Structure 1
Amino acid sequence: MLQKTHSVAGLIAAEIILVREGIPFLSWEAAGAILLGCLAGTLADVDKPGSTMAKVLFPLSALLKLLRVRHRTLTHSALFIALLALVASPLPPLYYWVFIAAYASHTLIDLLNENGVQLLWPIKGKIRLLPKPIAIDTGSAGETAFRWIIALVSLWIPFSTIRF
């Protein structure tokens, strides 16, 4: 999936946490959480040479390349998400949960891609949730439609919490 799709998925993850925690959407906390969600949703692609995250976090990307970490393996795995959860534990609770949920959203939506992810890394074999004929190909019209759908969900979430 493209960075913009992952960013919208990270936004939704942040919104879900904000709703769960009862944080008003029009607050500084929410603004920080939404920004964090949009960024963390794209972070797993640091393992993909040429991606925005690989450029922004070049030292980490270069290290992953030096270690021969392939795309959608280590950084997309359940083990890595668990390790990241340990490393991120000093964050304040709101931002901790937003960071972990948004990062995990990346792997979740890549499971809809025809290539899948090596979710159980270091165990070989990629997993995908959709059969290949209906899986979402990166950059396709299907991905664009999917992104629009989740963008509409991201607009619905804040409005669904308004009580009249």
Structure 2
Amino acid sequence: MLQKTHSLAGALAAECTMIYFHQPLLTWESGAALLIGCLAGPLADIDKKGSTMAKIFLPLSSILHFLGVKHRTLTHSLLVLIGLHFLLSPLPNFFYWTCMLSYASHPLIDMLNEQGVALLWPWKKRFRLLPKFAAIDTGSFAEIVFRTLLLILVIVLPLVFLMPKGMW
């Protein structure tokens, strides 16, 4: 999936966290959560040379490439999610779950792709959620449709669940 798709998935995960924690939409916490979602969603692609995240976090990306980390392996694995759990556990629950779910959205939607994800890395088996014939290829029309559905959800969910009563 492309970065914009992952950013929307991360934003949607942040909005779901906002809904769960009954966080009003028009607060600095919600603004921070949406920013976190847009950044944490595509962050797993730090392992892909040339990606926006690899450019932003160049030193870390360079270390991953030096170590021979392949795309959709370590950074897309449960191992990194466990590491993030320990790293982020001091955060307040709202921000902890925003970060965790936004980051986890990345390998989840990459499992819709034919290539799948090495979710249990270093075990090389790749997991995917759809059979090959129904998989969503990166940059394809199917991804555009999927991204459009994510965009609709990102717009509609806050209007339905987070706007103050009487404004909608």
- Decide: shared fold, TM above 0.5: yes
Distance in 1 between the 2:60 and 2:88 partners? 17
Is 1:68 the counterpart of 2:68? The answer is yes
The one-letter code of the counterpart of 1:34 is L
Query: Which TM-score applies when normalising by structure 2?
Result: 0.95
The one-letter code of the counterpart of 2:68 is R
Distance in 2 between the 1:112 and 1:74 partners? 18
Distance in 2 between the 1:41 and 1:85 partners? 16
Moved over 6 A (4+): none
Partner of 1:57: 57
Partner of 2:132: 132
How many percent identity over aligned positions?
53
Shift of 1:92: 2.4
1:91 is paired with a residue of what secondary structure? Answer: coil
Partner of 2:43: 43
After the TM superposition, which residues 1-164 of structure 1 pair with which residues of structure 2 at under 5 Å, given as runs?
1-161=1-161, 162=163, 163-164=165-166
The one-letter code of the counterpart of 1:103 is Y
Distance in 2 between the 1:8 and 1:20 partners? 18
1:99-122 Cα shifts (integer Å, max 9, x gaps): 000000001000001110001111
The one-letter code of the counterpart of 1:49 is K
Shift of 1:155: 1.1
Distance in 2 between the 1:52 and 1:91 partners? 26
The one-letter code of the counterpart of 2:134 is I
CA RMSD in angstroms comes to 0.9
Shift of 1:79: 1.5
1:90 is paired with a residue of what secondary structure? Answer: coil
Shift of 1:91: 2.1
1:78-136 Cα shifts (integer Å, max 9, x gaps): 11111111111122222111000000000100000111000111111111110111100
Most deviating of 82-91 and 69-78 = 82-91
2:63 is paired with a residue of what secondary structure? Answer: helix
1:83 is paired with a residue of what secondary structure? Answer: helix
Distance in 2 between the 1:91 and 1:59 partners? 25
Query: Which TM-score applies when normalising by structure 1?
Result: 0.97
2:30 is paired with a residue of what secondary structure? Answer: helix
Distance in 2 between the 1:27 and 1:87 partners? 25
Distance in 1 between the 2:59 and 2:85 partners? 21
Distance in 2 between the 1:12 and 1:105 partners? 9
Provide the aligned length of Structure 1 versus Structure 2.
164
1:69 is paired with a residue of what secondary structure? Answer: coil
The one-letter code of the counterpart of 1:19 is I
